[in-house]
Structure 1
Amino acid sequence: MLPMYAWLSGVIPCMDAFCQRFFASTFMPISYYHWPEHFIWSCPSAFQKMEHHSRVLADKIKFYKNPDYFITDSYAYFGMVNIDDSLSKMDYLILGPLFSTPCSDETVHNFLHEGQLSGEAAEEMTQVFLNTPRVSFHQFLSMLSFLHLCINRKEINIAEHFDTRIGAMIQEDISKRYSNLMYDKREYLDFHNTFDLELQLIDCIKTGDAQKIKPLLLSYPAENQITGQLSNNPIRNRRNLFIVTTTLAARAAIAGGLDTEQAYQLSDLYIQECERTLRIEIMDTLSYTMLIDFATRVAKQKLPIQGMSKEVFDCLQFISQRPNEPLRVDDVADFIGKSRSYITRRFKEELGFDISSFIMRCKLEEAKSLLTYTDKPLSEISSYLCFSSQAYFQNVFKKKYGITPLQYRTDSASAKE
């Protein structure tokens, strides 16, 4: 069987079949012209009765490249693909009219006025509008580039091909859809009601108060929450909401003192897990687990972020991200571009402990994680965290936590069972 482009390119009699199949698949109006004089074929068929309408619009619609688009005063999108990929040739496919928002009476009236349509022709065109899907401006351009690829075997970069007009048109498109959406939302009092819950959850994570999260969520039953609609697909919509929630949680955790890299990596892992999940109830459990996890990790940090200088905060991030390096106080001072005595004094004044203590704390916290969630031997963990010997690592660990690393691993395994 010949590929689509071989079926289309240079075989004009097949264009009517192509238009029919395209329309049957997308319900987007498409026409075949010897532009602008002769109207050859169109789907839906109502367009074939409107040659006068076509000539009127043709005087206003101008195309300058292949493919190209034009937006009328009534915000109708028209796209063009030159079948022979030469603007000197006159055989075109015309996509449209298409709209990004539901057609109001005013929109329909304005379009009919532009095309000088009245009577039966106007009624038929109105019915076409009612049955035509709404498409965003970006969807419209994507479909136009797809048609160009099918017809002319050439792929385009949408942003480069249509240049800087895209940004302005997308903004205009979003503004129109926003106005229509807010009109309907106000009409039916259908408003988001989760802002207060979000603020309280963010505060729980920032303060490391994991115990408060469960009763807080129970006080806002999911069935009473009006959340955003980020996709028409229920699974995709819930995933998108999860991504937003996880992003907010990660930022709140960073504000609460969690190392930025830890927060970002944890956020990425939870989002990846959500992407693999196909059941909404599991996503709900994952969301709860994610919130608890971030709050718990912040609680373990227990750093007084409020009132902390940027210099000290940057030092904390620098140290937290390098538990596997043999850091010294001089390394931290060099990073911040200050003297050893200056940064040591600031650390003590703002945090109440010295830099060396925090370096060791980060190493031991990482050791606990490795002991709990990996099977790596003590010798490898000790070497990874840059302890001078395994014996020294074990002694420091026991002095800090009261048990040996192996006992900690055993206890952690029992707690998970």
Structure 2
Amino acid sequence: MEVFQSMALLAELVQCGGPIFTWCYDEKGNLLRSNCPDEAFLSGIFGLFGCKQQMMEYGAAHDTPITLGTALGILWAAAFEKKNGELKRAWVMGPVFYQDVSMRGIEQGLRYYSHLETSVSWTMHLQQVLAKVPVLQNTILHRYTLMMHYCLTGIHLEISDINSETPPKVYDPTYTPAHDRHKVWMAEQGLLQMVRTGDLNYKQALSNSMTLSAGVPVHSDDALRQSKISVIVFTSLVCRAAIEGGLSPEEAYALGDSYIQTAESAKTLDDLNPLSLVMYDDFIRRVHKCRTNPKLSRPVQQCVDYIEMHLDQKIRAADLAAVVGYTEYYLTHKFKAETGLCISDYIKFAKIERAKVLLKSTDQTVQEIAAALCFSTRNYFSRIFQEVTGQTPVEYRGG
């Protein structure tokens, strides 16, 4: 317990200087805890670029800390907690950049990992996340690493005792990471389903889908051309999903053509990089608007939107009443009169619709989805899911 308390204090002190996160892995490489808000995605990056495997292999054989680098200029530092000479836990700090890196530099770094199958959506999210990664001088990271080692072992080391590992300059053709094309398809379907439903809460679900590190790669010697092709393909898919969601073909195709033309006109990667996210958000908001029931009063529509944005929480009629400034009694009657459903049933149906997306677009377990949508138990979630859809969650996922 003392180790966790010491590391928690160190994590707080380090964060006083910037958003540098701390991670803890068990002896098998399973993530136990972190203080990172984008935990799933960045933990996936740590594994995808081979840093986690390298850390675990090094930690099993050595007692001294290590810094781990990637071709993108990202660094992590790791120190090891041992018991009777055996690895017990690996503690990680990062990621950080060791120098300022432009979006173009990140694009060029990704070309080193061209053997990985990275989807358009995954690359979008990577760029968004890396834009928030701080720059930290190597000497400062090394001092943090020595502090981390001391918290775990009580032993003072010198900077020269830290082992530094960086990727080779030339792509290693023998490195073949595992991937699963079925998961890729699931993730892409999840992204498109959020467009079809006009899901304003897409950012959380988008993050879940994009932790899958696979997709259909598009290779080119010209990084700008490669990115343009990716944006154009993604825009075409989103455009068709928006039509399926109710957006008129005239509006959808005109909007898609506009974004494609903007992509073609981009002169630099920095001009192009934000375009996919802007386009995706634009289409989702337009689909949401066209799906909004014009018969609903503004307060009831506010309640509907609030429910959609808070499906991961326990929502009560009293919460909705506070949002619109009505009494709970008045709102419950008004809501049912306009929607035909009582508030609790509407929330239940909305949560099941989100569950259907997660079942088809992620590899989260039924238990994890039930917890993510704030159902009290897995059995209760399964029972409600079957009442609404006529299938169990497992049957729906396999269908």
TM-score relative to the length of structure 1: 0.32
Larger relative helix fraction: 1
Which fold has the larger relative contact order, with Cα–Cα distance below 8 Å and residues 6 or more apart in sequence?
2
Which has more radius of gyration? 1
